[in-house]
Amino acid sequence: MQSQASAWDREKPSQHEQNTMDNKEFLITLNVPPSLEEAVVDCLLTFEAEHGFSSIAINAHDHKNEGLSLAEQVTGRQRKIRFQMYIAQQDLNQLLDRLKTDFSGAGIHYWVLPVIEKGVI
């Protein structure tokens, strides 16, 4: 029990903890209509962080049929391109402002999550 108490009561965080606390990063995810893929790539390249970004074709499922073609309504899915990018806290608002300005009304769904830990294994 003593070793656990001393681990909790340390005065100085470990190097790993210091890196995690000092480098506030977020993971932004965008689900984009395929027709906007190249435009979004161009936009994200201007914000490209240390680790770049990734994209993958996905099927989005939603109970609403708004904006779906007849084929999409029948299959219950809509093709989208998902982008994910790590971004520093100081750049996040600028990226979101740019996306909202350049792609207003485009139907891009997004969410932002804090990065607790990342690395390479």
100 phi and psi, to 5 degrees?
Answer: -65, -30
d(Cα 56, Cα 82) in Å, to the nearest integer?
Answer: 5
Q: pTM of the entire structure?
A: 0.74
CATH classification number, 24-114, choose in 3.30.70.120, 3.40.50.300, 3.20.80.10, 1.10.287.70 = 3.30.70.120
Per-residue pLDDT of the chain (121 residues; tens, 9 = 90+): 555 554 445 454 444 444 445 569 999 999 999 999 999 999 999 987 667 899 999 988 766 656 666 666 666 678 999 999 999 999 999 999 999 999 999 999 999 999 999 888 9
d(Cα 39, Cα 44) in Å, to the nearest integer?
Answer: 9
Torsion of CA 109, 113, 118, 121, to 10 degrees: -40
